[in-house]
Structure 1
Amino acid sequence: MAFENPSRDRIKELLKNAGNIAVVGLSDKPDRTSYMVAEAMQSKGYRIIPVNPNAKHILGEVCYPSLSDIPEPVDIVNVFRRSDQVVPVAEEAVKINAKVFWLQLGIFNDEAAEIAKSGGLEVIMDRCIKVEDAILLPGGK
């Protein structure tokens, strides 16, 4: 059966209830899409936890080398990695008991989706979290 993202109503609910959003592949360069998206989400009141092994701080937050290094619960794992690099991220998202595995616009991987789903996570692929938030929660959460 072909993959289908959750309904817009469900995505709205997930965003509204999101506490910590771990952003895997978040760049510390302000001209990168990952930085712009995370900064916009942070400005709307979301707690962003950067995951990048090559940085110490991004957007004023402590940066962690991997999902497993984050010392607090994660609701959404938002991924900015190439489609062929997301399977290990899905496995790690399951290990940390995240609630949602979200692959950004242009990122799609059926194997990673199956790993995350089998581990109890809701899966969203090929959607921009910032765009979904702007459409579904224009006034903020």
Structure 2
Amino acid sequence: MANAEPKGRIVTDSRRIAEIARGAKRVAVLGIKTEQQSEQPAFYVPAYLQGAGVEVVPVPVYYPDVTRILGQPVVRRLADVPGEIDIVDVFRRPSDLPPHVDDILAKRPKVVWFQSGIRNDEVATRLAAAGIEVVQDRCLMVEHRHAR
């Protein structure tokens, strides 16, 4: 197919970013916060997505006693999420990303999305080389709202 989108690249094209945001049906949120941190983007962005009809799979890094976030069961590793994931939405500091690469690669999501302020070119390059599209330093909530 001549016009097929290549898989595995660092995405900077606004049209493709809008396409990715619009097409998200199931998003695993790595680094999601709990309801007690509802004023933080790592909670209100996934809450917005869920309210917009996107299935959100919470994958918190902290909060070992929490079993549900946004009414959904918590999963501790991306590799343990059942089924396919359209996007892994990442709320982690750039320096904290490398330890998550193997877990992300084990799950093989279509897209890994680093939220606003999050950029790690080395990690992005590794994920893209493995066939995963990567969006860096963009807010999924903002892009989803604009793409609708």
Cα deviation for residue 16 of structure 1 reads 2.5
Cα deviation for residue 89 of structure 1 reads 2.3
**Structure 2 equivalent of residue 64 of structure 1:** 75
Bigger drift between 15-24 and 109-118 goes to 15-24
**Deviation digits for residues 57-86 of structure 1, max 9, x if unmatched?**
000111111101111211100000010011
Give the conservation status (yes or no) of the 8 Å contact 2:67–2:74. Answer: yes
**Structure 1 equivalent of residue 97 of structure 2:** 86
Larger relative contact order (CA 8 Å, sep ≥ 6): 2
Instruction: Supply the distance in 2 between the matched residues of 1:20 and 1:87 (Cα, whole angstroms).
Output: 23
Runs ≥4 residues deviating over 4 A:
none
Larger Rg: 2
- In the alignment, structure 1 segments of 5+ residues that lack a partner are none
4 and 64 in structure 1: CA distance in 2 versus 1, 3 angstrom threshold: closer
Q: What code does the residue aligned with 1:79 have?
A: V
Instruction: Supply the distance in 1 between the matched residues of 2:10 and 2:29 (Cα, whole angstroms).
Output: 22
Instruction: Supply the distance in 2 between the matched residues of 1:135 and 1:13 (Cα, whole angstroms).
Output: 10
The answer as to 2:41 corresponding to 1:33 is: yes
**Structure 1 equivalent of residue 19 of structure 2:** 13
Instruction: Supply the distance in 2 between the matched residues of 1:60 and 1:11 (Cα, whole angstroms).
Output: 28
User: What is the root-mean-square deviation of aligned Cα atoms in Å?
Assistant: 1.6
**Structure 2 equivalent of residue 75 of structure 1:** 86
**Structure 1 equivalent of residue 28 of structure 2:** 22
Instruction: Supply the distance in 1 between the matched residues of 2:42 and 2:49 (Cα, whole angstroms).
Output: 11
Give the conservation status (yes or no) of the 8 Å contact 1:94–1:120. Answer: no
**Structure 2 equivalent of residue 110 of structure 1:** 121
**Structure 2 equivalent of residue 52 of structure 1:** 60
